Amino acid sequence: MNSNDQKDAPATGSHSAPRGVWVAALTPLTADLAPDTARLIAHCRWLLGRGANGLAVLGTTGEANSLSVADKLALMDAMAEAGLPGSALLPGTGTCSLADTVTLTRKAVEIGAAGVIMLPPFYYKGVSDEGLYASYSEVVQRVGDSRLKVYFYHFPQQSATPISHDLMERLIKAYPDTMAGIKDSSGNLDNMVAMCRRFPGFGVFAGSEQFLLPVLRAGGVGCISASANVTVSACADLLRAHDAGDAAATDAAQERITAWRLALQSEPMIAGLKALIAGRRNAPDWNRLLPPNLPLDAEGHARLVAALEAVDYPFDELAEQAA
């Protein structure tokens, strides 16, 4: 087997664990800025229909830190009642409150979610690894359910509370059947690759499809990405080409997807994604965001469209209504 074949061999690890292209799903809102449950469920079905392996709901992109615990519990119940498979859901459950994190995590387990993506408690800055260990450990013990699978959420730009490799190693050793992986949204590819090497078999997800292929080749399991709300089909194509060992097709897909991601992040991500969907589906309700985030203005929308046109983004894909 040559080096290219080795690079494009399917990722190793647990076949039952989440892998592939997971979308950090947007949360549409009603006129009174409550979650629009019906529209969210329709969007989730559309994403799964376009090739998403699963959905990371109630995360940063879903504006979860601007939602109440009651809202998040109700949304998880609604997803389950609508028949969205638990195996395709990774709800975000990490908050600054230990009790709230436990409540949300228990609900995720109750609906059969594949796992939870858990921010560290992020209000107090400069906390030690010992303090973070105590927090994660307390959640696991209070939930007390063997079905729980925890994915760390490393996003130091937002949380200002990084998750160190030493902390991860200690928690993995203490709870080997519970600590399942990590979403690394740091943008630091070296960190992602280092985790793949230090923790073989651990579920390392890149936080952007910009790093999907290099993380897969390093032994990671895929990506959990905000911009996959509008790039999901191409990301799924990349994964199929990678798993088939087609290095040339995989490289070409990654180059195309990276260009789209860089264009998409040229404007505020959540506002830009909602603006694109609103415009292409003739659905202005999609433009609503929870303060302090604000919708993209007309000038910003025009800049975003121009940036995407310059890299041949296929706008027609978004015109299809979620169903």
pLDDT per position in the chain (323 positions), as tens?
333 333 333 332 333 579 999 999 999 999 999 999 999 999 999 999 999 999 999 999 999 999 999 999 999 999 999 999 999 999 999 999 999 999 999 999 999 999 999 999 999 999 999 999 999 999 999 999 999 999 999 999 999 999 999 999 999 999 999 999 999 999 999 999 999 999 999 999 999 999 999 999 999 999 999 999 999 999 999 999 999 999 999 999 999 999 999 999 999 999 999 999 999 999 999 999 999 999 999 999 999 999 999 999 999 988 765 43
Strand partners, 152: 118, 182
Yes or no: say if 183 and 153 are a contact pair by the CB < 8 Å rule: yes
Q: 2: which 2 tokens? A: 């040559």
For 134, other C-beta atoms within 10 Å of its C-beta total 14
Q: What's the gap between Cα 249 and its chain centre? A: 24
Tokens 């376009």, located at residue: 50
C-alpha to C-alpha distance for 105 and 139, rounded to whole angstroms? 8
The reported pLDDT for the residue numbered 320 is 65
Yes or no: say if 193 and 216 are a contact pair by the CB < 8 Å rule: no
Q: What is the pTM of this model?
A: 0.93
C-alpha to C-alpha distance for 223 and 216, rounded to whole angstroms? 9
The reported pLDDT for the residue numbered 17 is 75
The reported pLDDT for the residue numbered 321 is 55
Q: Residue type at 133? A: Y
Sequence-ordered list of residues with C-beta below 8 angstroms from that of 183, at least 6 positions apart, any chain:
56, 117, 151, 152, 153, 154, 155, 205, 207, 224
C-alpha to C-alpha distance for 148 and 17, rounded to whole angstroms? 12
Tokens 């469920």, located at residue: 41
Q: What's the gap between Cα 75 and its chain centre? A: 17
Q: 260: which 2 tokens? A: 């789209």
C-alpha to C-alpha distance for 116 and 129, rounded to whole angstroms? 21
Yes or no: say if 223 and 22 are a contact pair by the CB < 8 Å rule: yes
Strand partners, 54: 22
| 51 dihedral zone (left: phi>0; alpha: psi -120 to 50; beta) | left
The reported pLDDT for the residue numbered 267 is 98
C-alpha to C-alpha distance for 110 and 248, rounded to whole angstroms? 43
C-alpha to C-alpha distance for 165 and 78, rounded to whole angstroms? 36
The reported pLDDT for the residue numbered 317 is 86
